[in-house]
Amino acid sequence: MGDNMGRRKIGQITKVRLLLSGKRSGFTLLEAVVGIALVAIAILGLAQMFTLSVMNNMRSDRITNATFLAQQQIDIIRNLTVDELTLLASSPEIVLNEDGTKLIKDQLIDLNSDTKSDYRRITEVQPSGTVWKVDVLIFTQEQFSTDRTQLLANPQQNRVKAKVSTIISR
């Protein structure tokens, strides 16, 4: 029993000393507010990085789709005959087969079938004997109303999303 009483006195003395010295355990209101502010700043920075990464992913998706559309057109043109290539070089569109499939040199494309065009694909074919230089440029909605010759003259200034060029020889 005496040992237990001794411990109580030591415990009370320790409490008295803490009260007299002004030390308390726990956080003050100021420390809590500063901690919350630091956490909020960190979360805002992460949210900004998340927004930036979503925007970059959307931009990358547009460029990927545009490159696919340009490459698709190049692949179709590579399979044309000499007569079809010559006709395509001199006309705005040609019919490829009996089912009426057309190859159009200036075309608005609805990629996701929502009845709203997403891209504009411009194909330029320049013959030189048995060689044809083919350029396919893909633009977004901002350039739908821009003149074709202006887009071909200054593709970078008009923010081309993809440009694929090739030479076809027969």
Percent of the chain with pLDDT over 90: 74
pLDDT of amino acid 26: 72
Q: Which residues pair with 138 in a beta bridge?
A: 121, 162
In angstroms, the Cα distances linking 145 to 12, 142, 158 are: 86, 8, 12
How many Å apart are CA 168 and CA 170, to the nearest integer?
7
For 145-169, write each residue's pLDDT tens digit. 999 999 999 999 999 999 999 999 9
Show the tokens assigned to 157.
Answer: 């200034």
Helix (H, G, I), strand (E, B) or coil at 166: strand
Cα 137 from Cα 33, distance rounded (Å):
56
pLDDT in tens, 91-146: 999 998 777 889 999 999 999 999 999 999 999 999 998 999 999 999 999 999 99
- DSSP alpha helix (H) spans, the chain: 2-21, 29-78, 82-90, 148-153
Q: Read off the pTM.
A: 0.73
pLDDT grade for 24, boundaries at 50, 70 and 90: low
Q: What is the mean pLDDT of the chain?
A: 89
Identify whether the C-beta of residue 60 lies closer than 8 Å to the C-beta of residue 154.
no
Mean pLDDT of 73-95: 93
DSSP letter, residue 118? -
